[in-house]
Structure 1
Amino acid sequence: MTSANSRRGETTGLWSIRRHIVAVVLIGLGVFAVATVLLWLALGLPAAPGPDTKLNVVKIALSVVAGVGGVVALVVAYRKQRIGEAAEAREHVKVLNERFAGACAQIGHEKPTVRLAGMYAMASLADEWAEQRQVCIDVLCAYLRIPYEPALDSPWHHDEESEVRFSITSVISDHLRPGAPVSWQGHEFNLLRVILRSADFADIQVTGGRLLFSLARFPGGWTSFDGMHVSGGEVWFGGAEFLGGRVSFDNAEFSAGRVQFDGATFTGGEVTFRGARFTGGEVDLSKVSLDDYTTPPVFDPWETPPPGLLLPGA
């Protein structure tokens, strides 16, 4: 029993019940001694106290003992409350872990409808579980990083798996847009080597954290970053391949932070920055090889590039 109480005390940050009671009793005795001395001084240090004085001293002693007993009862009640709260917190974490495991199992299911359900369950869990939100985000991003080639039987190369992936990117975008009920700003989104044929990142804000599209492939379809506002953090397109389709940054604003295209290739499709505003920060394409810049992005006309926009060969 003692060891069990000790373990409970460790998990709740409390002393053992024995230490608590001993401490309270010693404090009570100390208060009693001080009160007795002060009373004695107030009575003029009588050498032979009368019956009334003795009676008063006994009353004070009994009052102190009753007070100590009351404090002990309060300590016991306080400990019960703290232990109950700790047990409730452990149970809550247990439920969250079970939900996490269930969502992971759904995401790995062979049926796309079940995978979709698991994806939404994981996103909901991320909203509720702030302490492990990054882990939930990592699971969603890891799914997108699984190697995948879209079907080739339609202009959009759309299939069931594409729908699952589009839904994941939409959920991420919804949590990065202004007014999101729960914001995921400041976290890392590791989309290294993803294949994006259809994704809607329009109007997202990046105020911190990192959004990583390094080595991503854009083979066709349409991926929209229209209205994107980067005011902090980092967005990486290092080594990304813009091979076909359309990738648009139209009306985006870059006011702070860094957007890097180191080693990216622009060899097909259309990448546009029409109406984009470069008001601060850095958008760096200077390390793109001219050999990989055969289909350069489309910008608004200018005499000289705006500050913060670094182009190949500059």
Structure 2
Amino acid sequence: MSLVVSAWLLFNWLIGSPPKASPKPLDITTQLELAKLAFATVAGLGALVALVTAYRKQRIDEVAQILARQVARDTNHDATERRITDLFGQSVEQLGHEQAPVRLGGLYSLERLAQDNPDHRDTVVSVICAYLRMPFLAQRAPGVARQGVTYPLELLDTLDRPGQQELQVRLTAQGILTKHVFRSTHSNSNYWPGIHLDLSGAELIHFSLSECKVRIANFEGARFIGGAGFRKAEFTQIATFIGASFQGMANFKEANFTHSANFDGAIFQGATDFTKSTFGSMVTFSGTSFDNDVNFTEAKFSGSAIFTSAKFTAATHFNQASLRECTFYGSEFSGFAVFDSARFHAEPDFDGASASHPNDDHSWPGRWRTDPTAATGLAPLVSWE
């Protein structure tokens, strides 16, 4: 304000002030109007000050309410996390209890925790998988507890009472996992998407992932006692069965391996069914043993299919299968192999492979045949022009 007055005075000095006339007294009416104007100005300023004050108070109240809500949310979140941590710790402690009913309670508590708190589902699934990875039958049959060796199904009938109770706990743990990855439950809250199952080295009894959908499944070195069901299962990323052993029937009918699958070194003792299964970028069966009938009828291999040094002991069916790039280098077909109406996008590789001879039940693709000059037994496969 002082700067404005100083500028005004300087301006008047430079241009010269006009001669001052004798002031004319104001009449009563003018004085009243000036007074009204002054009062109105003062009132307006007062109202403006009151408005600014009310606005600032409102803003302060709003900020205080926001902070209060944030503090309440943080407090509730901290309290919830503490409750979850306490429940998780108690549930895990129950899993280590010597009494089977207490272990069952721990499993159901973990399931409820994961159901109500999606952010903790991966952790809960990891804990349940870790429980299943702990030795079970290996402790009761140490003579056959080597990797790649399956246990006779009859061993389950010889379990003592604690063993039978533990069997029920493990079946419950398996059931909890499969319940929440079952594809038909996508429309309700029971489905847990994006699950990663790590059951490497686990002993799985009558295990089934039929019609289930998982992101990653690791069954490396797992032992499937009894049947193993993977009918219409969907693996959206990686499925690993390296060194797994299947004591009973393995049902992979219409299974979908979206990306890669690895069965290297797996042992299939029972009948194996891959009918109408689909394989993505790569599937490998190197060194895999099929000790019973295996069926790949109408299976679709979109990428590389590698059967290097695989062993097919009984009937092998690739009828109407679709294979893009495949190799059976060094494979053995002790039973008979049928490739009727199989479609190959590239010439299959049977170099170094051998098959039972003589055997009129074979039906080889393209120019491949067993060497007719070979002695009885396993004869090399040769390509005839």
TM-score (norm 2): 0.60
Deviations 1:60-107 (A, max 9, x none): 112211221222222222222221121111111111111111110111
Q: Does 1:70 align with 2:86?
A: no
Residue number in structure 1 paired with 2:223:
217
Residue number in structure 2 paired with 1:253:
255
**CA deviation after TM superposition for structure 1 residue 112, in Å:** 1.3
What is the alpha-carbon distance in structure 1 between the residues aligned to residue 68 and residue 281 of structure 2? 56
Residue number in structure 1 paired with 2:345:
none
Contact 2:243 2:266 in 1 (8 A): yes
User: Aligned ranges for residues 146-157 of structure 1 at < 5 Å?
Assistant: 146-149=134-137, 155=154, 157=156
* 1:176 aligned to which of 181, 189, 209: 181
Residue number in structure 2 paired with 1:236:
240
Rg: which structure is higher?
2
Shift of the 288–282 alpha-carbon distance from structure 1 to 2, 3 Å rule, reads farther
SS at 1:239's partner residue? coil
Percent sequence identity is 21
SS at 2:210's partner residue? coil
**CA deviation after TM superposition for structure 1 residue 194, in Å:** 0.6
What is the alpha-carbon distance in structure 1 between the residues aligned to residue 251 and residue 156 of structure 2? 19
Residue number in structure 1 paired with 2:376:
none
SS at 1:221's partner residue? strand
Q: Does 1:185 align with 2:193?
A: yes
Q: What's the C-alpha RMSD, in Å, of the aligned pairs? A: 2.7
User: Aligned ranges for residues 1-314 of structure 1 at < 5 Å?
Assistant: 50-149=38-137, 155=154, 157=156, 159-180=164-185, 181-206=189-214, 209-218=215-224, 220-230=225-235, 232-242=236-246, 244-249=247-252, 251-254=253-256, 256-266=258-268, 269-273=269-273, 276-282=275-281, 284-288=283-287, 292-295=289-292, 297-300=294-297, 301-303=317-319, 305-307=321-323, 312-313=328-329
What is the alpha-carbon distance in structure 1 between the residues aligned to residue 328 and residue 114 of structure 2? 40
Contact 1:286 1:311 in 2 (8 A): no
Larger relative contact order, structure 1 or 2 (CA cutoff 8 Å, min sep 6)? 1
SS at 1:196's partner residue? strand
**CA deviation after TM superposition for structure 1 residue 214, in Å:** 0.6
Deviations 1:23-42 (A, max 9, x none): xxxxxxxxxxxxxxxxxxxx
**CA deviation after TM superposition for structure 1 residue 283, in Å:** 6.4
Shift of the 311–294 alpha-carbon distance from structure 1 to 2, 3 Å rule, reads farther
Contact 2:115 2:121 in 1 (8 A): yes
Shift of the 215–308 alpha-carbon distance from structure 1 to 2, 3 Å rule, reads farther
Contact 1:200 1:225 in 2 (8 A): yes
Deviations 1:181-225 (A, max 9, x none): 33223121110101123222222123xx2111011123x422222
What is the alpha-carbon distance in structure 1 between the residues aligned to residue 119 and residue 208 of structure 2? 27
What is the alpha-carbon distance in structure 2 between the residues aligned to residue 154 and residue 240 of structure 1? 16
Contact 2:255 2:276 in 1 (8 A): yes
Contact 2:260 2:279 in 1 (8 A): no
Structure with greater proportional helix content: 1
Shift of the 252–111 alpha-carbon distance from structure 1 to 2, 3 Å rule, reads farther
Read off the aligned partner of 1:263 and give its amino acid letter: G
Which consecutive residues of structure 1, in runs of 5 or more, have no partner in the other structure? 1-48
What is the alpha-carbon distance in structure 1 between the residues aligned to residue 278 and residue 198 of structure 2? 26
